[in-house]
Structure 1
């Protein structure tokens, strides 16, 4: 997991666990949001809203259209701070 920020991953994982009642053991950087974690497009909107609250940054929904994995979410969140 050296390519992504562990702290950001932990926060994203926490949001996923809280919002969607997922088990931490099922959340990995390579987990596919839609196939592995059973998150649908409505859930994805909720995720963007929660990430906005967490970061205090405006998140462009367009940036999340290509997001497929937990790692993609972490990378998108990291870009908010660059």
Structure 2
């Protein structure tokens, strides 16, 4: 899965689950300050990413995620360990 494909899927997740306009979901966008996610949304996002990758996300790793770009990197890391 390419970075662009991951970003497209993340945009779908944000739109479907958090009603966020996909145009706002850019790699530079800050999850909490710009996209207004809260801690419960972050847990929901982690669950959706686990469903997307089929891999479990370690909570201590996901705590470091701050931007959409960080989410993309986390998904790429999960997909690499899966291969």
Q: What TM-score do you get using the length of structure 2 for normalisation?
A: 0.89
Shift of 1:79: 0.1
Consecutive unaligned residues of structure 1, counting only runs of 5 or more, are none
Corresponding residue of 1:55: 53
State the partner residue of 1:28.
Answer: 26
Q: Distance in 1 between matches of 2:79 and 2:47?
A: 17
Counterpart CA distance in 2 for 1:16 and 1:62 is 22
- Report the counterpart of residue 8 of structure 1 in structure 2: 6
Q: Could you tell me which of 14, 17, 37 is aligned with 2:15?
A: 17
Structure (1 or 2) with the greater helix fraction: 2
Provide the secondary structure at the position in 2 that maps to 1:81.
helix
Q: Following TM superposition, where does structure 1 have runs of at least 4 consecutive aligned residues deviating by more than 3 angstroms?
A: none
Q: Residue 43 of structure 1: which of 41, 44, 66 is its match?
A: 41
Output the TM-score relative to the length of structure 1: 0.91
Higher RCO, 1 vs 2 (CA within 8 Å, ≥6 residues apart): 1
Matched, 1:73 2:71: yes
Q: How many angstroms does 1:55 deviate by?
A: 1.1
- Say what the alpha-carbon RMSD is for the aligned residues: 1.1
